[in-house]
Structure 1
Amino acid sequence: MNKKQKRYYTHLTIEDRFVIQTGIENEAKKCNIAKMLGKEASTIAKEIRSHLIIKPRKSYSIKPNNGIDDKCIRRDRTPGACNGCDNLSKCKKERRLYDANKAQKEYEYMLIDSRSGINMTTKERRRVANIIKPLIEQRQSIEHILMNHPEVGLCAKTLYSYIEAGVFHDFGIINLSLKEKVQRKYKNPKYKKRKEPVSYEGHKYDDYLAFKEEYEEKMTTEMDTLYNNHSGPYLQTFQFTDCKVMIGKLYQEKTNENMVATIDEYEEILSNEVFKKLFGLLLTDRGSEFQNSQLFEQNKKGKHRLNIFYCDPMCSHQKPHVENNHNYVRDILPNGYPMEHLTQDDIDLMFTHINNTPRRSLHGKTPLQIMKFFYTEDYEDILKAFNLKELEPDEVTLSSLLFKKK
């Protein structure tokens, strides 16, 4: 976002108001004044209307109903005030003047009045702003910040309300700064029914439910792919549903062989026991890159190593954990973000930050903290295998700025 665009989200300053006054005196149109200040024309019009000084008619012979016209295009439309009018000293109509100094004072009084219900001094506002601003810029959510900074002394609802009301505007924190306020346009997906491959027999979602009923203790790992361009690169993702840790592998091509290569790699570097705990039960969709179940289930020696099942067609909700966790990935790799320059180390760095993000569903704990609890003895080996590490809460960054910090 360039400097001109940023001006749209800042309040008018005393200098801006003098520009408006000068524009009125020179009969400039509101749209031209707005363009000069980098504002919307409606903002300039509202500013002029809100701070006009009304001076009554000089002669009482001019009345609304006596047949004498009291209208004035210059005063009533463009530029919207009488400043600089050649007939100002002689005019007997109602005069409306804009004074930059008076407008600024009225604005300052309005700010004080609007904040009178805020139970914070300027010093307290500055203290809170100094804590939350750098973390908001790292795309951390308000909940994430408050979980790790109880010294803020506010609940999430109150802090949201304060930011909405502009309490921290003076310190550069506005409503649009918040991660939750940035929304992306939703694209209606176009579904195309796939031909049912024979290899899905015995591996359908109903088979998965039956398997889970028999082996309740087995943890499910959900598998998916994510990409920003149909020609690649592609990100193969895994979500361990017991601890919500997510990992991923980057590939230039989305093939069955590449997806299986990830499983082969982890089978080699993890102990047999840990591999079976983490990858012993896979649930994925019916993408062509996953369709050969035998390649996944049997290792290179032909030995059975895991069970894989597939969701029903067009039923991504049957693997909700990996789908929902992709929201964190999208914070860092939004749609359209070029992935061609990324390396596997970049992907591991991204998942390090995602897995160090506390979750409300985990009672304020991070996925890595939960994994450490479940896999205490093997935890360090798992981190090494996935190239992950623990971070301090304030080190977490959930935006593409992460790659610029390297």
Structure 2
Amino acid sequence: MSSYKYKHLTLDDRITIQKALKEGQTFVEIGALIGKDPSTVSKEVKAHLDYRNTGTRSRGYNPCRHRKRCTKQYICGEDSCGFINRLWHGKTYCSECALCMVNCPDFEEEKCSSLKKAPYVCNSCKQVRSCTLAKQFYDAKEAHKTYEETRSDSRKGIDITPEELDRLDAILSPLIKQGQSIHQICMNNAAEIMVDERTIYNYIDAGILSAGNIDLPRKVRYKKRKSKKVVRVDKKCHIGRTYEDFEAFMKGHPDFNVVEMDSVEGTRDSTKVLLTVFFRNC
């Protein structure tokens, strides 16, 4: 059985994650520090990425892959736009301007390949101060603030205190992650849980427990059944159109030409059909 805890991450956990990321530690090492599975740390970091489009002190944000060797000037048509750069460097290149990517027809965005793999952030990158590409960071306080706001929104309309929720989560989530069904858990722990199965499913759907729908094998396996559309017929359409109405009409109009048609079908896989046509006045 796994020794990892299933409680939600605290602010202290997130601060530890941020500090460890800055030190260049792996998700496995960070998970060991806070007593969580490495996948939990990975999900936490990816769920709370802080995107920043920043440059350096001397160069603005410019993610163009040609920026280091580009010698284009005055693409925007403004001769005065490079005045400050001329004062400092004696020359002006459009690659030094943050508006370069807006005006240049040859702009091609470059994305840092390191952000495509763990740890997905720039917290420990030694080149971050000289980099002009788009960046991703993990900020513990911002991550916890977003988490609390999301949790608060998901709990709207749910009558349960945070303390009671944590108590239920500590009981339910480990058992759910072990593969036990909600019904089985309720049967074996009724005195401790004190809520019905439907309530537990609602809590899981709302995302307020550590365990999610992905941890419920049957819920993942089965597709949601499509409800049949109910076709409602206005009963007024039958007024004057019953067989009794037809017989009364024929008594008043005996010479009226009427043809009755009917069909008889066999089994579904049969192609044979019997059609009958009856001429009443013949």
- Range class of TM-score, shorter chain: 0.3 to 0.5
Between the two structures, name the one with larger relative contact order (CA 8 Å, sep ≥ 6): 2
